[in-house]
Amino acid sequence: MAAQSYGLVATFDSAPAIYEAAKKVRDAGYKHWDCITPFPIHGLDGAMGLKRSIVPRFSLVGGLCGFSVGMGLIYFTSAIDYPLIVGGKPFFSPLYAFPVAYELTILFTAFATIFGMFFTNRLPMHYHPVLKLDRIADAQDDKFLIVIESRDPKFNAAHTQALLEAAGGKAIAEIEA
C-alpha cells in the first residue's frame, strides 16, 4: 500500500455475530470505528456504545419555528397589515389560525428532522473508502462488516487484526483510503 490505509475491515455472516463482535471492539476502547449492516440491528447502538441520536433537537426547533411562523403570519396579515371582517369572525383568533399553524409546525419539523439526519450523518458523502470495497454490495445485502479506522489512537495493524480475528471476523483486509 502506497498511502496509509483507511483502516481494517472484517466480514461477519450473521447479526448475532456482529453484535457480539461489536461489544468486543467497544470494550477494547476503540472510538473511530463502525459497523456496516444492510439493515439496522436492534441493540447494536448499545453494543457499539453509541449515545442516543440528537436529531430530535433539530425537530423540536423546527416545530417551534413552524408554529410561530404560522401564528405570526396570520396575526400579521389578518390583524395588522390589512384587517378585513370576514363572516363576523374576529381579526385574529388562535382558533381559526390553528389549522395553518399546525400544518406549518409539521412541515418545518419534517424539514428540520431530515436536515438534522443528513447533518448528523454527514451525508451526502458520495465518496467514502468503504464504498470502494468489492464486498460493499454484500454488506448491503446479507453480510455485516466491522470497519476500524487507522486514525484511532488504539489502532495497531497487528493487534487490531488479532482482535477482529478473535471476534470471529472473516476476510480481514486493509481498506485503501
Partner 1 sequence: MSTHAATASSSLPAETAAPAGASKALVVGIVGILLTAAGLFVPGNGKVIALTWLVGLSFWVAIAIGMLLLVMIHHIFDASWSVVLRRQFEHGLSAFKWLGLLFVPLLVATWVKPGSVWKWTNLDYQLHGHGTVGEDILYVKKAAFLNPTMLTVMTVAFFGLWMFLSARLRKASFTQDTDGDIKWTFHNRVTAAAGLFFTALTLTAASIYWIKSLEYHWFSTMYGVWFFANCARGALAIGVLVLLWLYARGDLKGILNTNHMHSVGQLVFAFTVFWAYISFSQYFLIWGANIPEETFWYNLREINADGFANQWKWVGMALLFGHFLFPFLYLLSYKNKIIHSRIKFIVICILATILLDMCYNILPALKDAHGDAKPFLSLNLLWVATSVIGIGGVCVWSYLRSFATTKLIPIRDPRIGECLTHHE
Partner 2 sequence: MAHADTTVAKPAILAEVKPASLPRAELVENNRSFAWVTDKICGIIEGKTPTWWWVCFTLACALASFTVMGIVYLVSAGVGVWGLANPVNWGWAIVNFVFWIGIGHAGTLISAILCLLRQKWRTSINRAAEAMTIFAVVCAGIFPVFHVGRVWFAWFLFPIPNANGIWQNFRSPLEWDVFAVSTYGTVSVLFWYVGLIPDLAVLRDRFNRAGNKLRATLYGIFAMGWRGSNRNWSNYEMAYLILAGVSTPLVLSVHTIVSFDFAISLLPGWHTTIFPPYFVAGAIFSGFGMVLTLMLPLRAIYKMEDLITQYHIDCMCKIVLATGTIVGYAYGMEFFIAWYGANPYEGFAFINRAFGNYAWAYWIMIACNVITPQFFWFKKVRQNTAFVWVLSIFVNVGMWFERFVITVTSLARDFLPSSWGYYSPTIVDIMTFFGTFGVFSVLFLLFIRFLPVMPMAEIKAVMPQADPHAGHDHH
Which of residues 88 and 153 has its CB atom nearest to partner 1 in the complex? 88
* Rounded-to-integer distance, Cα 158 and Cα 90, Å: 76
CA distances from 74 to 43, 49, 102, 112, 130 (A): 45, 46, 12, 22, 50
CB 88 to partner 1: min, Å: 7
Task: Rule CB under 8 A: say whether 16 interacts with partner 1.
Answer: no
Q: Which grid cell is 168?
A: 470471529
Task: Rule CB under 8 A: say whether 15 interacts with partner 2.
Answer: yes
Task: Rule CB under 8 A: say whether 91 interacts with partner 1.
Answer: no
Contact 23, 167 (CB under 8 A): no
Task: Rule CB under 8 A: say whether 18 interacts with partner 2.
Answer: yes
Judged by CB under 8 A, the residue of 4, 16, 42, 140 near partner 1 is 42
Buried b / exposed e across 149-167, counting CB within 10 Å, b at 16+?
Answer: bbeeeebeeeebbebbeeb
User: Mask of contacts with partner 1, 49-88, x by CB under 8 A?
Assistant: ---x-------x--------------------------xx
How many chain residues are in contact with partner 1, going by CB under 8 A? 9
Which of residues 106 and 171 has its CB atom nearest to partner 1 in the complex? 106
Which of residues 104 and 148 has its CB atom nearest to partner 1 in the complex? 104
